[in-house]
């Protein structure tokens, strides 16, 4: 009958945490530009405050704002231009050569300044060119005196030193998957290399005679290409080990070889249910050092799923030196996909120090026919197990693919795909989310609300077409 999905997650978490602790030494620094897609291993802390100095946010004139108090178009404040500051120039020095113009009236000083120019000491605001009038020009035709027709606030159009990132601030948290937008603050701090988690290498086997041969009447292997691409989508290295036939000895030698090859994880699909040629569970039970954690989870699809690990070597404290987790996913492609998304992905996230995913909460748009069919299924059989033995099965978690949409009222709505059979793959082409229907009474959500996750594990954003 297996265990509940929440129990399975707890077991996965405990193995993954131990595995993570054993791999921590492999974290390394890599160049910022090459780190996009990688998971940050430890908090990245700002070594300094930015910007380093006060700069101008506009092209115009650095002035003392109090000199504009009471200014109006009829009674503008008058400034004489002492000089010019460009971006990239050293800070304005008091004794720098000033304009040789002689001024006939009692104007206040100002300095022409370009966006990004270092703000000169003693001036506290920048008046944009557009808000000034030129009163006099020098021999070169440049403004030597300007008029300002409205009051300016203290610090207007000025970027203050330290106003962006503070020294010691955590800029990117450990567990973040680095994306290009993170490069903006990191590059501004001069950070050229970042600490990243060593990505695991995952080996993938298909099982089944139907995938060893190639005949027109045989189905195509969909699970291995899917698993490889979903792993790559998460920036995890993935290798196909091909297909194993439904022969017990072949399965044994195939798994034994994969375990010896030093992969960080092994995924198989097929051969874990109750069929006469389903050898994966019995083979794993006979392999040295392999411990089966669970076989069977009360989830739909995917209930035959198996999770095991091989522990190798022991340190002085008795902890294994290496752990190789083995997820044996059910053969039906929809079941393999759901088990990957909701059992393997949580394991990989812990292994890479990523926080657990936070679902979007949406209103479930249930079709009347679907609700009736689900209810009757649930009554007849939970999880493929009938109640004839009188033992109550664990509560059932259901995972459906579908589309997540936002209404014009701003409400998120999850619409399950019409067809949810684990052998039908057409609906995946238009699905954008997984919908997690928790067992009755186990969800903290209001009735009618469900948790939704991106259909692709590596993407944090949902495509959200508007409902028309
Ligand atoms: N008596 C029972 N029979 C079945 C049960 C059960 O509880 N009692 N569970 C059903 C469920 S649910 C699933 S899911 C499947 C899983 O079975 P296996 O993991 O043993 O998978 P296979 O028997 O090898 O294959 C099942 C099905 O999936 C196709 N398949 C397998 N691998 C691939 C692949 N790489 N790419 C595409 N398709 C694949 C395979 O051809 C079969 O059609 O068991 C049910 N039976
Ligand atoms: O794992 Mo099966 O495909 O639940 O239906």
Per-residue pLDDT of the chain (468 residues; tens, 9 = 90+): 689 999 999 999 999 999 999 988 888 999 999 999 899 999 999 999 999 999 999 999 999 999 999 999 999 999 999 999 999 998 888 655 444 444 556 799 999 999 999 999 999 999 999 999 999 999 989 999 999 999 999 999 999 999 999 999 999 999 999 999 999 999 999 999 999 999 999 999 999 988 988 888 889 999 999 999 999 999 899 999 999 999 999 999 999 999 999 999 999 999 999 888 889 999 999 999 999 999 999 999 999 999 999 998 888 888 888 899 999 999 999 999 999 999 999 999 999 999 989 899 999 997 655 544 444 444 334 444 444 556 777 899 999 999 999 999 999 999 999 999 999 999 999 999 999 999 988 888 888 999 999 998 876 555 444 443
Q: Is the CB of 203 under 6 A from ligand 2?
A: no
Q: Is the CB of 302 under 6 A from ligand 2?
A: yes
The ligand that comes nearest to the alpha carbon of residue 211 is 1
To test ligand 1's pocket by mutation, which of 273, 274, 307 has the most ligand atoms within 8 angstroms of CB?
273
Residue-wise pLDDT tens digits, 309-366:
999 888 888 888 889 999 999 999 999 999 999 999 999 999 999 998 989 999 999 7
Residue-wise pLDDT tens digits, 448-468:
999 999 998 876 555 444 443
Q: Is the CB of 335 under 6 A from ligand 2?
A: yes
Ligand 1 atom with the shortest distance to the CA of 206: 35
Nearest residue (CA) to ligand 1, atom 46: 273
The ligand that comes nearest to the alpha carbon of residue 339 is 2
Q: How far is the CA of 184 from the centre of ligand 1 (A)?
A: 48
Q: How far is the CA of 223 from the centre of ligand 2 (A)?
A: 14
| Pocket lining for ligand 1, CB < 6 angstroms | 206, 208, 210-211, 219, 221-224, 269-275, 278, 301, 303-304, 330-333, 335, 384, 422
pLDDT number for residue 210: 87
Q: How far is the CA of 335 from the centre of ligand 2 (A)?
A: 5
Q: How far is the CA of 330 from the centre of ligand 1 (A)?
A: 6
Instruction: Reduce the secondary structure of the chain to three states and give it as a string.
Output: CCEEHHHHHHHHHHHHHHHHHHHHHHCEEEEHHHCCCCEECCCEECCCCECCCCEECCCEEEECHHHHCCCCCCCCEEEEEEEEECCCCCCCCCCCCCCCCCCCCCCEEEEEECCCCECCCCCCEEEEHHHEEEEEECCCCCEEEEEECCCCCCCCCEECCCCCECCCCEEECCCCECCHHHHHHHHHCCCCEEEECCCCEEEEEEECHHHCCCCCCCCCCCHHHHHHHHHHHCCCEEEEEEEECCCHHHHHHHHHHHHHCCCCEEEEECCCCCCCCCCHHHHHHHCCCEEEEEECEEEECCCCCEEEEEEEEECCCCCEEEEEEEEEECCCHHHHHHHHHHHHHHHHHHHCCCCCCCCEEEEECCCHHHHHHHHHHHHHCECCECCCCCCCCCCCEEEEEEEEEECCCCCEEEEECCCCCCCCCHHHHCCCEEEEECCCCCCCCCCCEEEEEECCCCCCCCCCCECC
């Amino acid at each position: 009958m297996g265990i509940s999905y929440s129990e399975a997650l707890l077991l996965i978490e405990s193995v993954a945490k131990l595995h993570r602790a054993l791999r921590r030494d492999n974290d390394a620094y890599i160049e910022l530009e090459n780190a996009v897609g990688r998971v940050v291993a430890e908090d990245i802390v700002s070594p300094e405050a930015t910007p380093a100095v006060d700069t101008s946010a506009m092209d115009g004139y650095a002035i003392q704002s109090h000199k504009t108090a009471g200014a109006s178009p009829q009674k503008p404040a008058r400034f004489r231009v002492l000089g010019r500051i460009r971006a990239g120039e050293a800070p304005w020095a008091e004794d720098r050569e000033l304009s040789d113009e002689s001024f006939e009236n009692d104007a206040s000083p100002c300095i022409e300044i370009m966006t990004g120019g270092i703000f000169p000491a003693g001036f506290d605001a920048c008046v944009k060119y557009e808000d000034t009038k030129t009163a006099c020009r020098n021999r070169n035709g440049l403004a030597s005196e300007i008029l300002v027709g409205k009051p300016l606030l203290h610090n207007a159009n000025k970027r203050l030193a330290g106003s962006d990132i503070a020294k010691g601030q955590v800029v990117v948290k450990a567990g973040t998957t680095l994306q290009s937008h993170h490069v903006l603050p990191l590059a501004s701090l001069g950070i050229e290399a970042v600490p990243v988690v060593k990505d695991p290498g995952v080996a993938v086997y298909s099982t089944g005679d139907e995938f060893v041969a190639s005949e027109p009447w045989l189905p195509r292997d969909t699970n291995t290409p899917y698993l490889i691409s979903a792993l790559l989508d998460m920036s995890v290295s993935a290798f196909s080990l091909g297909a194993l036939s439904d022969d017990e000895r072949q399965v044994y030698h195939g798994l034994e070889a994969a375990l010896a090859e030093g992969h960080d994880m092994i995924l198989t699909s097929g051969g874990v249910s109750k069929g006469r040629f389903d050898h994966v569970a019995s083979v794993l039970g006979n392999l040295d050092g392999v411990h089966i954690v669970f076989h069977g989870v009360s989830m739909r699809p995917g209930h035959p799923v198996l999770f095991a690990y091989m522990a190798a070597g022991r340190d002085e404290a008795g902890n294994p030196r290496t752990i190789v987790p083995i997820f044996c996913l059910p053969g039906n492609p929809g079941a393999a996909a759901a088990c990957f998304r909701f059992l393997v992905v949580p394991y990989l996230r812990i292994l890479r120090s990523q926080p657990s995913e936070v679902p979007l909460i949406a209103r479930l748009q249930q079709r009347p026919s679907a609700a009736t069919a689900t209810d009757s299924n649930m009554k007849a059989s939970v999880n493929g197990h009938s109640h004839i033995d009188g033992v109550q099965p664990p509560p059932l978690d259901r995972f459906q693919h579908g589309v997540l949409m936002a209404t014009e009222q701003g409400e998120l709505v999850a619409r399950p795909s019409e067809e949810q059979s684990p052998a039908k793959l057409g609906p995946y082409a238009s699905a954008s989310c997984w919908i997690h229907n928790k067992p009755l009474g186990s969800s903290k959500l209001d009735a009618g609300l469900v948790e939704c996750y991106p259909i692709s594990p590596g993407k944090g954003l949902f495509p959200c077409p508007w409902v028309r």
